[in-house]
Chains A and B, each alone.
Chain A
Amino acid sequence: MNKDSGNPQNMFCLWWSRLAAMTLKELLQLGRDTLLIGAVIYLFTLDIFMAGGITMDLKNATVVSHDSDHSQASRELIYRFRPPYFKLAGEIPTSREATSLLDQGKALVVVDIPPKFQHDLIQGKPTAVQVQVDTSNTILGTLAASYSAQIIGQYGLDVALARMGLTESAFENVPMLIDQHRVWYNPNQKDAWFMTISELLTVITILAMLLPASAAVREKERGTIEQLMVTPLSPIQIMLPKVLAMTLVILLGTALSIGLIIEGIYQVPIKGSLLFFFAVTGLYTFAMSGLGLFVSTISRNLAQAAMLVIMIMMPIILLSGAWTPPEAMPMGLRQAMYLSPLYYYIEMGYAILLKGAGLDILWDSLLGLTLLGSVFFGFGVWRFRRQFE
């Protein structure tokens, strides 16, 4: 194997120049596939831009009212169903129509106000408002139900206080808690701040696994791996350039996406050190590419690799808290979260970008990612080397 042995320094240079040549080859191969580059650029720009327009909170949920009272009080209550949460979509004459609107998904909430609503309120008699909520999607349904209850409860309290002659100026003499909320890191609760970063981290995850896996399997499928095996390159020199090239592409894409979309269009304030974020991203792509290489060793063609990547990727994304609040995981899955490298990456990503946290706070997540990453990468390398024996 070491026919080209000279002095050790020469060997060292040779090793690196081979690595560089192979990395260049990977980059060239990637760059010549226009559609592929287009898809990668799309994922880092337009896709993240579109994700920024999505909100997970209830927004403009359609409310239809069935008002049997037609009084000032009932109208006042109905008009409290306002944006951002609700959108009034008119009134219906009969309650039977409510069912058909709900069936067709044209309304999410139907508010039913009883006759003599205002009369009862003035008299101080208890009255009841019926709210029907479409809970076929439980997430949205529960939100809509709790916001509606809040609105009606507040209206009731306001009416009661007004009846007792306690207007707002008199509030100073009433024992009450006044809610003061301070939302940190995202004071106006802009969904775009969360969604764009979440999408970016997901895109990085997908690419960090898929690109190295497919680059390795492709050589197998086309038979070019045989050519590489008869060269003086060691398995590491064949494999590492693939990971390096893909990491480079991913880091470039990340820079593009942060500069152009996240900071540029959505004006998310980046609080922490971008250098630290890129270092963590590099580490993370290495960890994930280990998994990608592992996939490439057990699959013989790209179709198999693609299916395997999906199968491994989905639990990793799910267990990370990218789409769901991690606290809500069932107990067993909460422990499994610590096995998802994305979990650490997401914690650190948000902490660095939005919270401005540094190494002093994040050292434990960094340690977790490093350990997990070394295991994954080591495993991938070990499997990859074994192929050559």
Chain B
Amino acid sequence: MKLQRIRAVMSKEWREIVRDRLFLSLAFVVPISMMLVFAYGINMDVENLPFAVLDYDQTKLSRDYLHLFIDSRYFDYQGDVHSERELDPLLADSVIRFAIIVPPKFQENLLAGRPVAVQSLIDGVFPFRASTSKGYVIAINSAFNSKLLAGYISEHFSMPQEQAEAMVQPIKVQLRYLYNQELKSIWSMAPLMMMFVLMITPPFLTALGVVREKENGSIYNIYASTITRSEFLIGKLTPYVVISILNMLILWLMATSLFHAPFKGDPLFFFLSSALYVTCTTSIGLLVSLLVQTQIAAMMVTVVVTIVPSVLYSGLMVPIASMDAASQFEAHLFPAMYYTNIVLGSFLKGVGLEQQWSDMLALAVYVAVLWLGSFLLFHKRAKS
């Protein structure tokens, strides 16, 4: 292996990138704008849920009860309806996401000490939203319930209201939110977005590299030259790795100074693992490039191997531990999962090499395997 030849390929590749001004600027603009849009925009909080009420009772107690919903910041009151039939089109057109139906004799039954069934209709199209809304309704109902019960108990066992309230809720829950005490979603979103953006953009930079030369025919210059396979591949890959590492640093700066995410971990460990990770993702692009014959195919295959796993199998939306065995297995096949552990660990948990050496090792193994795969796939002799 000769350094001189590697440098020659590298400088050729570098010049090609630099001369394509649009591509060069996009190589930086795309990651930055993705980070901006996503870190600001992804908000899984279920808030401002539009809803309607159907109050068959129309008494003071029923209005008091419904005001618990109307005044909540999680809900967005859209008005009253007068029959259940009016609710159908509202739900179908997504004007409302759920509805509360208060039955007749609501106040009368409760004051007489009888239970009352309150119905909620929920739009179940988005199950995550449906179960969260259901959770809110349950929470409001149980708050209302413990008031009712306490009132009932204080009346029946003749004790003061406060004592009765304490009796209904004998266990206090002390919740401690670790690593992100204020539950700022941007703090976890910004590091996760680093993982996401660095999974998607580097492969797209490299994916077209070799296949373009194949399509243009300029690859024959390489075939005819004295350069060896690994020299060519290293030279080809290095400029993109450099760009991606620069991007990684930019994204890190954005996460820490623009989004003010805390960085508690060991910088050296973090940057080394990040460098490994971007080498990984750029190599994925290179491997795809070697595998396919046309640039369009290269792009499509890159979409397949990057976007989907980085959303579904990275721990971004679904924790790996919650998956079924098959999905867990697949998650272990992609590098995104290991890096998710590392970014969250370094940013929020403040853990380093000691706890996460295995994740780093996995990334290193990944690089080695990709490298071997690329080496074996690349032939200097055109197939006859």
Whether A105 pairs with B341 at a CB distance below 8 angstroms is yes
Asked if A265 lies at the interface with its beta carbon under 8 angstroms from chain B, I say: no
Cα A222 to Cα B20 with chains together (Å): 17
Asked if A288 lies at the interface with its beta carbon under 8 angstroms from chain B, I say: no
| Interfacial residues of chain A within 226-242, with CB under 8 A of chain B in the complex | none
Whether B149 pairs with A176 at a CB distance below 8 angstroms is yes
Asked if B72 lies at the interface with its beta carbon under 8 angstroms from chain A, I say: no
| Interfacial residues of chain A within 180-217, with CB under 8 A of chain B in the complex | 180-187, 189-191, 193-194, 206, 210-211, 214-215
Cα A39 to Cα B92 with chains together (Å): 35
Given B43, B293, B300, B303, which contacts A330 in the complex, CB threshold below 8 Å?
A: B43
Asked if B104 lies at the interface with its beta carbon under 8 angstroms from chain A, I say: no
Whether A50 pairs with B308 at a CB distance below 8 angstroms is yes
Cα A182 to Cα B134 with chains together (Å): 10
Whether A182 pairs with B319 at a CB distance below 8 angstroms is no
Asked if A256 lies at the interface with its beta carbon under 8 angstroms from chain B, I say: no
Whether B167 pairs with A53 at a CB distance below 8 angstroms is no
B296's nearest neighbour on chain A, judged by CB, is A214
When A47-B308, A108-B319, A157-B142 are in contact, do A130 and B127 touch as well, CB less than 8 Å? Answer: no
Whether B180 pairs with A136 at a CB distance below 8 angstroms is yes
Q: How far is the CB of A63 from chain B (nearest CB, A)?
A: 11
Whether B22 pairs with A299 at a CB distance below 8 angstroms is yes
Asked if B47 lies at the interface with its beta carbon under 8 angstroms from chain A, I say: yes
Cα A67 to Cα B76 with chains together (Å): 41
Q: How far is the CB of B213 from chain A (nearest CB, A)?
A: 12
B26's nearest neighbour on chain A, judged by CB, is A307
Interchain Cβ contacts within 8 Å, total number: 395
Whether B301 pairs with A53 at a CB distance below 8 angstroms is no
A40's nearest neighbour on chain B, judged by CB, is B300
Whether A194 pairs with B295 at a CB distance below 8 angstroms is no
Q: How far is the CB of A364 from chain B (nearest CB, A)?
A: 8
Which A residues touch B347, using CB under 8 A?
136
Asked if A20 lies at the interface with its beta carbon under 8 angstroms from chain B, I say: no
| Interfacial residues of chain A within 18-71, with CB under 8 A of chain B in the complex | 33, 35-36, 39-40, 42-43, 47, 50-51, 53-62
Which A residues touch B123, using CB under 8 A?
183-185
| Interfacial residues of chain B within 135-184, with CB under 8 A of chain A in the complex | 135, 137-139, 141-142, 144-146, 148-149, 151-153, 157, 166-181, 183-184
Q: How far is the CB of A46 from chain B (nearest CB, A)?
A: 9
Q: Which of B33-41, B275-283, B363-371 interfaces with chain A?
A: B33-41
Which A residues touch B319, using CB under 8 A?
61, 108, 137, 140
Asked if B71 lies at the interface with its beta carbon under 8 angstroms from chain A, I say: no
Asked if A274 lies at the interface with its beta carbon under 8 angstroms from chain B, I say: no
Whether A303 pairs with B185 at a CB distance below 8 angstroms is no
Q: How far is the CB of B319 from chain A (nearest CB, A)?
A: 6
Asked if A17 lies at the interface with its beta carbon under 8 angstroms from chain B, I say: no
Given A47, A56, A131, which contacts B173 in the complex, CB threshold below 8 Å?
A: A131
Asked if B83 lies at the interface with its beta carbon under 8 angstroms from chain A, I say: no
Whether A174 pairs with B115 at a CB distance below 8 angstroms is yes
Cα A75 to Cα B285 with chains together (Å): 52
Whether B315 pairs with A137 at a CB distance below 8 angstroms is yes
Whether B40 pairs with A330 at a CB distance below 8 angstroms is yes
Q: How far is the CB of B290 from chain A (nearest CB, A)?
A: 12
Given A60, A175, A351, which contacts B152 in the complex, CB threshold below 8 Å?
A: A175
Whether A185 pairs with B125 at a CB distance below 8 angstroms is yes
Cα A62 to Cα B110 with chains together (Å): 40
Cα A242 to Cα B320 with chains together (Å): 41
B126's nearest neighbour on chain A, judged by CB, is A194
Task: Annotate A289-311 by CB proximity to B: 1 below 8 A, 0 otherwise.
Answer: 00000000011111110111011
Asked if B362 lies at the interface with its beta carbon under 8 angstroms from chain A, I say: no
Whether A127 pairs with B297 at a CB distance below 8 angstroms is no
Whether A135 pairs with B20 at a CB distance below 8 angstroms is no
Q: Which of B219-227, B321-329, B374-382 interfaces with chain A?
A: B321-329
Cα A310 to Cα B252 with chains together (Å): 21
Given B89, B177, B318, which contacts A56 in the complex, CB threshold below 8 Å?
A: B318
Cα A135 to Cα B93 with chains together (Å): 35
Task: Annotate A158-182 by CB proximity to B: 1 below 8 A, 0 otherwise.
Answer: 0110011000000111111111111
Whether A124 pairs with B170 at a CB distance below 8 angstroms is yes
Whether A171 pairs with B115 at a CB distance below 8 angstroms is yes
Which B residues touch A128, using CB under 8 A?
171-174
Q: How far is the CB of B362 from chain A (nearest CB, A)?
A: 14
Whether B125 pairs with A355 at a CB distance below 8 angstroms is yes
Q: How far is the CB of A29 from chain B (nearest CB, A)?
A: 9
Whether A177 pairs with B118 at a CB distance below 8 angstroms is yes
- A103-B355, A175-B115, A303-B23 provided; 6 other pairs, C-beta below 8 A? A59-B322, A146-B135, A152-B173, A164-B157, A210-B300, A214-B299
Using CB atoms and an 8 Å cutoff, list the residues of chain B in contact with chain A: 20, 22-23, 26-27, 29-30, 33-34, 37-38, 40-50, 76, 89, 91-94, 97, 109-132, 134-135, 137-139, 141-142, 144-146, 148-149, 151-153, 157, 166-181, 183-185, 187-189, 192, 200-201, 204-205, 207-208, 212, 215, 291-297, 299-304, 307-308, 311-312, 315, 317-319, 321-324, 326-327, 330, 341, 344-345, 347-349, 351, 355
